[in-house]
């Protein structure tokens, strides 16, 4: 099984933050060395 790698190329912004510290962010991310794509997800603190 291969490793999944990612690199945050640019942080566009933090859209919200939960009471537990999780943030919903819009980022430009390169997955496994591929062309960067916009990514909207929650990140742990």
**pLDDT at residue 1, as a whole number:** 72
User: What DSSP assignment string belongs to 27-43?
Assistant: EEEEETT---EEEEEEE
Res 19: pLDDT: 97
Q: How are strands ordered across the β-sheet holding 23-31?
A: 6-17, 23-31, 37-43
Residues 6+ apart with CB under 8 A from 26: 11, 12, 13, 15, 38, 39, 40
Please tell me the predicted confidence (pLDDT) of residue 2: 85
Low-confidence stretches of the chain (pLDDT beneath 50): none
Identify the architecture of domain 6-43 in CATH: Roll (2.30)
* Cβ within 8 Å of residue 32, ≥6 positions away: 4, 5, 6
Each domain of the chain, given as residue ranges in start order, spans 6-43
Report pLDDT for 34. 98
């Amino acid at each position: 099984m291969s490793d999944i790698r990612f690199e945050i190329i640019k942080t566009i912004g933090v859209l919200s933050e939960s009471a537990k510290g999780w943030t919903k962010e819009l980022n430009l991310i390169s997955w496994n060395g591929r062309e960067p794509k916009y990514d909207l997800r929650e990140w742990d603190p």
